[in-house]
Structure 1
Amino acid sequence: MTGTTSPTVLISGAGVAGTTLAHWLARHGFRPTVVERAPGLRSSGNPVDVRGPAIAVAEGMGVMPRLREAATSVGALSFVDAAGRRVGHVNMRALQRAAGSGEVEVTRSDLARILMEASSDSAEILFGDTITALHQDAHGVDVTFEKAAPRRFDLVVGADGLHSTTRRLAFGPEERFVEHMGLYVATLPLNAPADSPTDVVIHNAPGRMASIHPVHGQALAALIFRHPGIPDFRPRDLDQHKEALADTYRDDGWRVPELLDRARATDDLWFDSVSRVRIDRWSDGRITLLGDAASSVSLFGDGSTLAMAGARTLADELAATPTDHRSALARYEARHRTLVDPRQNNVASAAALMVPATSAGIALRNTASRLWPLAAAGTRLRRAMAPRKPPLGAAR
């Protein structure tokens, strides 16, 4: 990136990562353009968390008060058996207080809308379009779109999710980088009031979970199940997804038969593999990856937090050396991998808690759930009482 004009950056994907990056790039004097395949803001009502490093990012954008206003009212997890009797319970608010957490849970659609509104005045948005070709040289990237006229940018950022078009065009086919982690997830709105305005109600059978989550008073169903990779899995094939759910859950109790009937009848079903993206380098010249496109890791809500944190890091590093994109992208990757890499190894432990593989595992989880807030409080106390290392150069 040379010259005196503001550097141009094309961001593929108007999700959490892309809109956060657009905001911070504009704050640093770049000219961001966001291209999004969907015709408008995504409508997914799936709950996601803004926690840890993402809280500071949201506060810096001035959107944290709006996120807290839009927060869901979830306060507990209730585990139930096939007859609907409660067999385990976690007070999430007590857990958060014990851990000292300031996190907030919002729907993905609310988070995307609030982040988009924070960036729309400073970024060009191209809805209903996608990248079809990328050709870079030492000075920029020539981009071909499906609909818009070809354009040239100083940098291109792929923030377009697990099934990233940018990654495929710049780095190679998806199967080289995406590893199925043995689970699939489906969600669908039930278009009816939730049984409890504050509790996520969860039923497990070996290797399967079904839950009903209250979202602003309305019920959202989620089904997570262990399964080998589906041959010829197609992310947009609704019939394939409905068939997989019916085959997997057909013998389960509780409200599962009703949920399957709803899934068969709806066109608003989200279904995908829980996958891990592993790629040696996130950048190739003037093209880089962000969010799930670079490092999909999340099973239970960390994806949005990591996306926001990574977007802020990328923007800050580009601003630190605006005429040296190679060193900026290297620093961004080195910094953000320290957050991402540990979480890439935690999918198995998260699955063991929420989708135990055996009846014995379900019973053990239900019993242990009653001790989680106490364990979190103990961890916080131990950290507070631990001796602190003096800063470098301090007197001893």
Structure 2
Amino acid sequence: MRVLVVGAGIGGMSAGIALDQHGIDVELIDIDPLWRVYGAGITIAGATLRAFSELGVYEELRTRGYVGHGIRVCSVAGEPLWDVPTPMPAEAGVAGCGGILRPVLHQILSGRILDAGIGVRLGISVDSLRQGDGFVDVGFSDGSTGRYDLVVGADGIYSRTRRQIFPDAPEPEYTGQSVWRILTDRPDHVDRRHYFLGGPAKVGFTPVSATQMYLFVAERTAQEFREPGELYETFVELLAGYGGIVADIRAKVTPETEIVFRPLEAFHLPAPWHSGRVALIGDAAHPTTPQLASGAGIAVEDALVLAEELASHGDVPAALNAFLRRREERCRYVVDSSIEIGRLEQEGAPPEQQTAVVERALAKLAEPI
């Protein structure tokens, strides 16, 4: 069996590693000739840590990032209110939550790809897909061609693969929220994630290493774009009135601070997530907002399950049907729960109501894949 994975981000690299572990011949391509990664840090839920453990990278992630337990909910003034548990079954052998710098996670996964000798071609994309009886002929942007048993689109929320096989599929829609992120120093006493609820925006931070954490602000706004020159003033204004550690961080923000601003988009792609022998995983199939910190996790789970089903069935159509049966409900739950939390945040719902959805969803995700 020969598989092409389009997109070498978290989901695509995870698919490459998982397929290779099952003895399946796999090749990755990515449109970026430099194979870059964007963003500050990434929060990792317990179920995602379990998926990374099954992929074989948990120990390196634990060493180079952060793992811990629980989410501390605080008032706008910075006073602790209560802790939300992040339980995982003991047999999973992982912590309840974590965080890591995106470039570090990219280094871990890409290192495994290269160490395994998995082929990666950069700076190219798929121009054409032609399906025949038991194969897919692929035409690449560099003029080359290839024949594969399966093509996997792991090319993100704006997936070109999705448009190629489902030209009438929904487009990403702005949810009404945008997220701001900065990287900052991690005080010694910060040993878990924090939420600051009850104010005009949701503020929080996640440790990503022994010395760093990232702070985020989820803002309700009709504005989907910000000029780079206005980021600093708007960001410090959003943090005005918050106390505790947030006030300390705000005081250290300068016009030179790197601020990442991103509008949140999502949509529901109706099943199936494949057409013939071309399948979608991760954000290409079920893009979600970050409220549950599980978008990357369900992409890694997709990779693991797809590899398992291909190895088990040895027949691509049967494997894709089995994959969808195992994945659709769980991924839909993550998307729906994340969007629900975002809606409650925008409405200014009581903190207890917001965190109840988080706690219920994390417990659900702790169940077996």
TM-score with structure 1 setting the length: 0.72
Query: How many Å apart are 1:206 and its aligned residue?
Result: 5.0
Structure 1, residues 341-386: CA drift from partner, whole Å, max 9, x if none? 2223212443367x3623x624x569x89xx99x99xx99xx9xxx
Which residue of 334, 347, 350 corresponds with 1:361?
A: 350
CA separation in 2, counterparts of 1:74 and 1:342? 24
Asked if 1:311 corresponds to 2:298, the answer is no
Distance 1:243 1:66, change over 3 A: closer
Tell which deviates more after alignment, 219-228 or 237-246. 237-246
Query: How many Å apart are 1:129 and its aligned residue?
Result: 3.2
CA separation in 2, counterparts of 1:22 and 1:12? 10
2:111 maps to 117
1:13 maps to 7
- Runs of 4+ in structure 1 off by over 6 angstroms are none
Q: Secondary structure at the match of 2:23?
A: coil
CA separation in 1, counterparts of 2:229 and 2:24? 41
Asked if the contact 2:178–2:261 (Cα under 8 Å) also holds between the matched residues in 1, the reply is: no
Q: What is the percentage of aligned positions where both structures have the same residue?
A: 20
Q: Secondary structure at the match of 2:270?
A: coil
1:393 maps to none
Superposed, 1:1-396 pairs within 5 Å as 7-38=1-32, 39-49=34-44, 51-52=46-47, 55=50, 57-72=51-66, 77-80=71-74, 84-86=77-79, 88-90=81-83, 95-96=85-86, 102=94, 103-107=96-100, 108-120=102-114, 121-147=116-142, 149-172=144-167, 176-190=170-184, 192-194=185-187, 196-204=189-197, 206=199, 208-216=201-209, 217-228=211-222, 239=227, 246=234, 252-254=240-242, 265=256, 269-298=260-289, 299-322=291-314, 324-351=315-342, 355=345, 357-358=347-348, 361-362=350-351, 364=352
CA separation in 2, counterparts of 1:257 and 1:197? 13
Tell which deviates more after alignment, 154-163 or 338-347. 338-347
Query: How many Å apart are 1:75 and its aligned residue?
Result: 5.2
Asked if the contact 2:165–2:278 (Cα under 8 Å) also holds between the matched residues in 1, the reply is: yes
Asked if the contact 2:273–2:280 (Cα under 8 Å) also holds between the matched residues in 1, the reply is: yes
Distance 1:333 1:207, change over 3 A: farther
Q: Which letter maps to 2:299?
A: A
Q: Which letter maps to 2:264?
A: S
CA separation in 2, counterparts of 1:270 and 1:264? 14
CA separation in 2, counterparts of 1:361 and 1:24? 42
Query: How many Å apart are 1:290 and its aligned residue?
Result: 0.4
Distance 1:251 1:321, change over 3 A: closer
Structure 1: 5+ residue stretches without partners: 1-6, 384-396
Distance 1:139 1:76, change over 3 A: closer
Structure 1, residues 100-121: CA drift from partner, whole Å, max 9, x if none? 6733413244333323333332
Query: How many Å apart are 1:158 and its aligned residue?
Result: 0.7
CA separation in 2, counterparts of 1:157 and 1:326? 13
Query: How many Å apart are 1:326 and its aligned residue?
Result: 1.8
CA separation in 2, counterparts of 1:16 and 1:197? 27
Asked if the contact 1:177–1:277 (Cα under 8 Å) also holds between the matched residues in 2, the reply is: no
Which structure would you say has the larger Rg?
Answer: 1
Q: Secondary structure at the match of 1:117?
A: helix
Structure 1, residues 238-290: CA drift from partner, whole Å, max 9, x if none? 63896699399558433589869959656662513141332332111121100
Asked if the contact 2:157–2:284 (Cα under 8 Å) also holds between the matched residues in 1, the reply is: yes
Asked if the contact 1:194–1:213 (Cα under 8 Å) also holds between the matched residues in 2, the reply is: no
Asked if the contact 1:297–1:340 (Cα under 8 Å) also holds between the matched residues in 2, the reply is: no
Q: Which letter maps to 1:124?
A: G
Distance 1:76 1:58, change over 3 A: closer
CA separation in 2, counterparts of 1:27 and 1:44? 29
CA separation in 2, counterparts of 1:261 and 1:143? 51
CA separation in 2, counterparts of 1:173 and 1:346? 25
CA separation in 1, counterparts of 2:221 and 2:147? 43
TM-score with structure 2 setting the length: 0.77
Tell which deviates more after alignment, 310-319 or 72-81. 72-81
Distance 1:193 1:49, change over 3 A: closer
Q: Which letter maps to 1:167?
A: R
Distance 1:297 1:250, change over 3 A: closer
Q: Secondary structure at the match of 2:285?
A: helix
CA separation in 2, counterparts of 1:147 and 1:238? 35
Distance 1:89 1:282, change over 3 A: same
Asked if the contact 2:4–2:151 (Cα under 8 Å) also holds between the matched residues in 1, the reply is: yes
Distance 1:365 1:47, change over 3 A: same
Query: How many Å apart are 1:170 and its aligned residue?
Result: 2.2
Distance 1:136 1:265, change over 3 A: farther
CA separation in 1, counterparts of 2:24 and 2:61? 26
